Amino acid sequence: MAARIHGGAGAGAATALSTFNPKKLVAPSRTNLPAARSSKRCIVAAAGSDASKSLRVGHSQKLIANAAVATKAETSATTGTGHELLLFEALQEGLEEEMDRDPHVCVMGEDVGHYGGSYKVTKGLADKFGDLRVLDTPICENAFTGMGIGAAMTGLRPVIEGMNMGFLLLAFNQISNNCGMLHYTSGGQFTIPVVIRGPGGVGRQLGAEHSQRLESYFQSIPGIQMVACSTPYNAKGLMKAAIRSENPVILFEHVLLYNLKEKIPDEEYICNLEEAEMVRPGEHITILTYSRMRYHVMQAAKTLVNKGYDPEVIDIRSLKPFDLYTIGNSVKKTHRVLIVEECMRTGGIGASLTAAINENFHDYLDAPVMCLSSQDVPTPYAGTLEEWTVVQPAQIVTAVEQLCQ
């Protein structure tokens, strides 16, 4: 049913850490976070309108010099120097801090306890908090997801881990009917403050069943929120926000992003669950992306900048609901939209986002919204074929050139 993913299976497990070359990941090892980010720290509900305005630094000339080149992150400038860690460690930190803070938070999933998690996200937690709070479940996604939801109805705050997002398809009934709908059908009596998380996305030759993108399947479920993390900074922030949220939140991680390294602040912070992240302000075109495709986009942005374009890159982060405020402001500025996603072409997040943008911002568009998604095929095993199922930076460059004619 579910293949156990051992470290070193090529999916970026911690054991491969020392030999892991970030450049191979077609991503800069540090993200370019504007200084204004520091204002969001320790604020729970970010004053979104102010922050995004200040993020538009303005002049394209100034930006081209900084664009898409790894710079020293100035995020932790205010107080301490911050500390550097990998994305899975950031997730672990967030989880540990929340478990320290609230005794109702518990973790359940396959191999999260003694094994430490198949991607080491829960490493060391079972020793610290005990077997009941970091629960090793048998292989029964339907039952342990249901169990987490039942526990949440009484007031616990479980974090349910799917070893791979694809396995959560077995728990779809519990997630759709019980998790999403119970707050509504009980007339508000029960809240379900669960976090369902796990790695998904196309990895390195993992095969069709272990390379699924479930965002598209879950997006219509009413009552849940979906977020996708992409950097250690927002991974920790989103994990903490998701745990504190009273709504059920599905946190999508990506198999290939677990070993990204970044310096994050020492002090406590939370990322707003419904907010998009401005990665690179620009003037010519808005590129909307999330999760791993952010790095493909940033690599394409390097090429684009050298060719004279000025793309504005937004990591939408919140897959349900969309942050149409940030996206809308961007569209009103650039008038061109390109969506780059890893979901399938049919019925994916990009399809919904295209519809939402067309409905709401039609008057501001100078060109049709273009959406680059993965091909509608099961992910093949062969490396060359697998590369062609997802969007590559070269395709992004071509699409921008086409849109900006």
How many Å apart are CA 72 and CA 69, to the nearest integer? 10
Instruction: Say whether residue 29 binds other proteins (CB under 8 A).
Output: no
Q: Which stretch binds other proteins (CB under 8 A): 141-149, 300-308, 369-377, 387-395?
A: 141-149
* Contact residue for other proteins among 174, 205, 289, 354 (CB under 8 A): 174
Instruction: Say whether residue 241 binds other proteins (CB under 8 A).
Output: yes
| The CA-based dihedral angle spanning residues 32, 329, 222, 94, taken in that order and rounded to the nearest 10 degrees | 20
Instruction: Say whether residue 288 binds other proteins (CB under 8 A).
Output: no
* Contact residue for other proteins among 29, 60, 66, 247 (CB under 8 A): 247
How many Å apart are CA 381 and CA 106, to the nearest integer? 36
Q: Could you give the C-alpha distances from 64 to 56, 329, 403, in angstroms and in order?
A: 14, 21, 20
Strands (E), 283-385: 285-289, 311-315, 318-320, 337-344, 370-374
Instruction: Say whether residue 323 binds other proteins (CB under 8 A).
Output: yes
Site for other proteins in 358-397 (CB under 8 A): 360
Instruction: Say whether residue 263 binds other proteins (CB under 8 A).
Output: no
* Contact residue for other proteins among 19, 61, 154, 405 (CB under 8 A): 154
> Collapsing DSSP states into helix, strand and coil, what is residue 106?
strand
How many Å apart are CA 343 and CA 212, to the nearest integer? 9
How many Å apart are CA 212 and CA 342, to the nearest integer? 10
Instruction: Say whether residue 333 binds other proteins (CB under 8 A).
Output: no
> Collapsing DSSP states into helix, strand and coil, what is residue 240?
helix
How many Å apart are CA 121 and CA 110, to the nearest integer? 12
* Contact residue for other proteins among 90, 153, 251, 370 (CB under 8 A): 153
**Active-site hit among 98, 141, 253, 262:** 141
Residue 152 beta carbon to other proteins: minimum distance, rounded to whole angstroms = 7
**Active-site hit among 89, 93, 210, 277:** 210
Instruction: Say whether residue 98 binds other proteins (CB under 8 A).
Output: no
Nearest alpha carbon to residue 158 among 228, 99, 117: 99
- Catalytic residues, by residue number, are 141, 210
Residues that bind other proteins (CB under 8 A): 44-45, 48, 106, 132-133, 135, 137-138, 140, 142-156, 173-174, 177-178, 182-191, 193, 222-223, 225, 241, 244-247, 270, 272-274, 321-325, 328, 356, 360
